Amino acid sequence: MTNQPLLVTDGLEKSFGGVVAARDISISVHAGETVAIIGANGAGKTTFVNMVTGYLTPSAGSISFRGRDITGLSPRQTARAGVRRSFQIAQIFPKLTALENIIIAEIAAEKESVGLTTPSLVRSRVEAGMALLARFGLESMAQRRTGTLPQGVRKQLDIAMAAVSNPEMILLDEPTSGVSADEKISMMDSVIAPLKSEKATVLFIEHDMDIVRRFADRVIAFYEGTILIDDGVDVVLNDAKVREFVIGGVYA
């Protein structure tokens, strides 16, 4: 048995014109970990997730997943390699129902989709879609048009859509943003539990340190495009620089 990391980024960098959004981002994540990424707005967190998931091509550095170089692959190719993501603003079709959104995500995730060409295929897709919605606690939302659903439910659905192919790794960009403070924990419970039951490795960007404490095994703090510290939850949340530059005294 080797103990090879699942994801390794080495010297990742992204600049936009003169702005260096991320610089020298080198991390390793092992299978099964749940890692929180913290950092002020503009620290480069989303840029990092965009590079790992193929939405941005790095200006420098490399990304490997299960030992395979995935640098510069498209989002679709990256997803097929086993790395999926959700978005800070849920990427769903607002005029379609939750179940229809899930079915579209399923079809999109397949290598050679057979689509919805026969009644029995439609039935089996509906069954699979309902089962997935149930895993994420969204069964009762199946027939609702998603545009009218609360933000938290839409974000849960976006995560469920990313999970259709049971990815080995999933990156969640601010899953609890826009979710009311008293609903954040239950919302995270209802997405983390089904991901973990399928043994997914999870990275999530989060601003609420109570959520970080509760769900993360490890924390990576970003500051002005670089990694300030990458360590266990207690070490990072008690670090003097993190408290000064990242948490800013909010987390006592």
Ligand X SMILES: Nc1ncnc2c1ncn2[C@@H]1O[C@H](COP(=O)(O)OP(=O)(O)O)[C@@H](O)[C@H]1O
> Which residues, in sequence order, are CB contacts of 191 under 8 Å at separation 6+?
136, 156, 159, 160, 172, 175
Q: Which is nearer to ligand X, 39 or 137 (CB)?
A: 39
* φ/ψ (deg, to 5) at 232: -65, 160
Identity of the amino acid at 14: K
Window of 2-10, 27-35, 40-48, 115-123 that interacts with ligand X by CB under 6 A: 40-48
Beta carbon of residue 30, minimum distance to ligand X (angstroms, whole number): 24
When binding is defined by CB under 6 A, the residue of 47, 53, 71, 78 that contacts ligand X is 47
- Which among ligand X, Mg ion, none contacts residue 71 (Cβ within 5 to 8 A by kind)? none
Q: Which is nearer to ligand X, 47 or 71 (CB)?
A: 47
Q: Which is nearer to ligand X, 20 or 128 (CB)?
A: 20
Pairing of strands 218-223, 19-29: unpaired
> Which residues, in sequence order, are CB contacts of 87 under 8 Å at separation 6+?
158, 173
> Which residues, in sequence order, are CB contacts of 128 under 8 Å at separation 6+?
106
When binding is defined by CB under 6 A, the residue of 23, 27, 44, 52 that contacts ligand X is 44
Beta carbon of residue 209, minimum distance to ligand X (angstroms, whole number): 16
Q: Does the footprint of Mg ion cover residue 46 (CB under 5 A)?
A: yes
Q: Does the footprint of ligand X cover residue 39 (CB under 6 A)?
A: yes
- Which among Mg ion, ligand X, none contacts residue 240 (Cβ within 5 to 8 A by kind)? none
Q: Does the footprint of Mg ion cover residue 86 (CB under 5 A)?
A: no
Structure tokens at 69: 């170089």
When binding is defined by CB under 6 A, the residue of 1, 2, 18, 19 that contacts ligand X is 19
Pairing of strands 34-38, 218-223: parallel
Window of 6-14, 39-47, 151-159, 189-197 that interacts with Mg ion by CB under 5 A: 39-47
Binding positions for Mg ion, 189-228, rule CB under 5 A: none
Beta carbon of residue 161, minimum distance to ligand X (angstroms, whole number): 21
- Which among ligand X, Mg ion, none contacts residue 175 (Cβ within 5 to 8 A by kind)? none
Q: Which is nearer to ligand X, 22 or 188 (CB)?
A: 22
Q: Does the footprint of ligand X cover residue 9 (CB under 6 A)?
A: no
Query: What residues line the site for Mg ion (CB under 5 A)?
Result: 46
